[in-house]
């Protein structure tokens, strides 16, 4: 409790199914705790959300990315999306380097070493519907990292160059090299 002086630490025990040795990965968003346990089930708080078990591989890195209406699980370089209808994780993209939400929280970018994709989380009439995935660009140079410049433009590095790309593909993608 930080409102007392000096602060007081109190120990809380987790239920057996939430024991730390059973949790593969977890993430807290607001007051909700999401976790994947070593049996391959996914939980929100203490409620089991999965019916189909995801086989957990030893010596494998797992992480959760949670965005409005979308829950992603990374297993090394494989990205899974939680499907609430089938109550299971389904393969979404491979190989994944990173996933990032736009400043307006309406889009996600996800990319590999050579490709950048956009997932629309909300409708953006008249061009895009929620859930639509759009392939943006494939490069021959390896993409180092990619960021949102604003909600319609990306900035990324490929090889030794910094580039800006517009996500609007109506005619063709506008791509500008701004520095080497």
Q: What's the pLDDT at 19? A: 54
In whole angstroms, what is the distance from residue 31 CA to residue 127 CA? 35
Q: What is the 3-state secondary structure (H, E, C) of 17-80?
A: HHCHHHEEEEEEECCEEEEEECCCCEEECCEECCCCCCCCCCCCCEEEEEECCEEEEEECCEEE
pLDDT over 70 (residue 92): yes
Residues in the chain, total: 180
Q: What is the pLDDT of residues 93-150, one digit of tens each?
A: 999 999 999 999 999 999 999 999 999 999 988 889 999 999 999 999 999 999 999 9
In whole angstroms, what is the distance from residue 110 CA to residue 101 CA? 9
Q: What is the pLDDT of residues 10-55, one digit of tens each?
A: 665 555 445 556 899 999 998 899 999 999 999 999 899 999 999 9
Asked whether the beta carbons of 106 and 127 are under 8 A apart, the reply is: no
Mean local confidence (pLDDT), 58-62: 92
Q: What is the pLDDT of residues 170-179, one digit of tens each?
A: 778 888 999 8
């Amino acid at each position: 409790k930080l409102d007392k002086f000096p602060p007081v630490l109190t120990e809380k025990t987790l239920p057996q199914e939430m024991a730390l040795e059973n949790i593969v990965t977890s993430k807290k968003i607001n007051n909700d705790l999401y976790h994947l346990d070593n049996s391959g089930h996914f939980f929100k708080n203490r409620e089991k959300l999965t019916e189909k078990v995801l086989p957990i591989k030893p010596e494998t890195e797992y992480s959760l990315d949670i965005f409005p209406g979308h829950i992603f699980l990374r297993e090394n370089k494989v990205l899974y999306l939680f499907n609430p209808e089938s109550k299971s994780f389904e393969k979404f993209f491979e190989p994944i380097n990173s996933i990032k939400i736009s400043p307006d929280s309406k889009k996600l970018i996800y990319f590999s070493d050579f490709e950048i994709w956009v997932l629309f989380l909300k409708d953006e009439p008249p061009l895009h519907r929620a859930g639509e995935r759009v392939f943006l660009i494939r490069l021959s140079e390896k993409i180092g990292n990619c960021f949102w410049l604003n909600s319609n433009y990306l900035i990324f590095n490929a090889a030794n160059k910094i580039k800006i790309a517009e996500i609007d593909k109506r005619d063709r993608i506008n791509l500008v090299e701004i520095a080497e």
